[in-house]
């Protein structure tokens, strides 16, 4: 079975930006692009509705078809297929993602809470899907560049957040592979704080401790990446062990990144949070597209 880069489209600016990003990703990977439009079943259609079922179906089918036609003009070498499916979007997208290398979805613009960009469909889909999910904003249709801006001469860094107490091969490989495909550097950020055993604010009491802990964190980070540096010798790696919350550092780094990569531990329990606090924060606040990679 040929795997695809799959993208959900609904005709919105966000989904069209996601489709544009997905087309370029499919071209990089040398796989087909699959456009999926999910139409939720009508719970009730008023008797005086201006559109009969056939008309509504016709307009629904136009969404992926027109998006495919536009992308085919700009990417003539790319194999593109379309599907028009019915059901709840998170459930349908989870099902179609079983055949995908990557699932891409668009994120909405600023909502009632400033800076929160991912709606319920995006959150529910990320929490369920077993393949990497990339969230793309309408404002950044070209590798983290504002819409209409010229692409930089040097590719922007791929930024990856990494926890050292449970480094995940799936996450690290995705980050290195993404950087290699773009010819970009990989900036790996590990956020750390002094263990509580040293006290509430040990660095303020003994500044030398900050130096010792920072050197230890940097050493551990480089050890975790050593195997991957050998596997991807052409990827420039910028390893940074920084004091403070990882989510804040990753969000700041997204300002000049082409992609931000974070992990999501797969949880079998049907209840509770499934994305983790770092991934959740970065999904909402990143200025660049965000790849959420499940592991475990």
Residue 180 lies in domain: 153-296
Split into its structural domains, the chain has a count of 2
Which of 79, 111, 138 is at the close of a domain? 138
Same domain for 162 and 101, yes or no, is: no
User: Does residue 146 lie in a domain region?
Assistant: no
User: How far is residue 258 CA from its own chain's centroid?
Assistant: 11
For position 31, what pLDDT does the model report? 97
For position 108, what pLDDT does the model report? 67
Query: CB of 190 within 8 A of CB of 240?
Result: yes
For position 192, what pLDDT does the model report? 82
Same domain for 67 and 193, yes or no, is: no
Same domain for 114 and 159, yes or no, is: no
User: Does residue 144 lie in a domain region?
Assistant: no
**Which pLDDT tens digits describe the chain residue by residue (296 residues)?**
789 999 999 888 888 999 999 999 999 999 999 999 998 776 555 555 545 556 556 556 788 889 999 999 999 999 999 999 989 888 999 999 999 999 999 986 444 333 334 566 778 888 889 999 999 987 655 555 554 445 566 899 999 999 987 779 999 999 999 999 999 999 999 988 766 555 555 455 456 766 777 788 899 999 999 999 999 999 999 999 998 889 999 999 999 999 999 999 887 655 444 578 899 899 989 999 999 999 98
CATH number of the domain where residue 14 is located: 3.40.50.620
CATH number of the domain where residue 221 is located: 3.40.50.12370
User: Does residue 147 lie in a domain region?
Assistant: no
Same domain for 204 and 268, yes or no, is: yes
Same domain for 190 and 246, yes or no, is: yes
Same domain for 102 and 158, yes or no, is: no
User: Does residue 143 lie in a domain region?
Assistant: no
């Amino acid at each position: 079975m040929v795997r695809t880069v799959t993208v959900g489209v609904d005709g919105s600016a966000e989904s069209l930006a996601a489709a544009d990003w997905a087309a370029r990703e499919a071209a990089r990977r040398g796989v087909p692009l699959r456009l999926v439009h999910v139409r939720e079943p009508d719970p009730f259609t008023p008797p005086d509705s201006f559109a009969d079922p056939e008309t509504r179906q016709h307009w629904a089918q136009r969404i992926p078809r027109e998006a495919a036609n536009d992308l085919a003009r700009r990417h003539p070498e790319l194999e593109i297929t379309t599907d028009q499916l019915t059901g709840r979007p998170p459930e349908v997208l989870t099902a179609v993602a079983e055949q995908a290398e990557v699932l891409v979805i668009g994120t909405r613009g600023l909502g009632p809470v400033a800076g929160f960009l991912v709606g319920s469909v995006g959150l529910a889909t990320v929490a369920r899907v077993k393949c990497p999910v990339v969230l793309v904003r309408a404002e950044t249709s070209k590798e983290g560049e504002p819409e209409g801006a010229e692409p930089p001469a040097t590719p922007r860094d791929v930024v990856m957040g990494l926890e050292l107490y449970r480094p995940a091969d799936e996450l690290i490989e995705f980050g290195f592979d993404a950087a290699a495909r773009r010819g970009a550097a990989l900036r790996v950020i590990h956020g750390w704080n002094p263990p509580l055993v040293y006290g509430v604010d040990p660095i303020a009491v003994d500044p030398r401790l900050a130096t010792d802990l920072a050197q230890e964190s940097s050493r551990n980070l480089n050890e975790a990446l050593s195997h991957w540096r050998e596997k991807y010798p052409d990827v420039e790696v910028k390893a940074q062990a920084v004091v403070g919350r990882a989510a804040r550092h990753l969000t700041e780094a997204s300002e000049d990144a082409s992609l931000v990569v974070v992990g999501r531990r797969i949880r079998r329990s049907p209840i509770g949070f499934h994305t983790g606090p770092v991934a959740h924060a970065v999904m909402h606040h990143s200025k660049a597209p965000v790849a959420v990679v499940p592991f475990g």
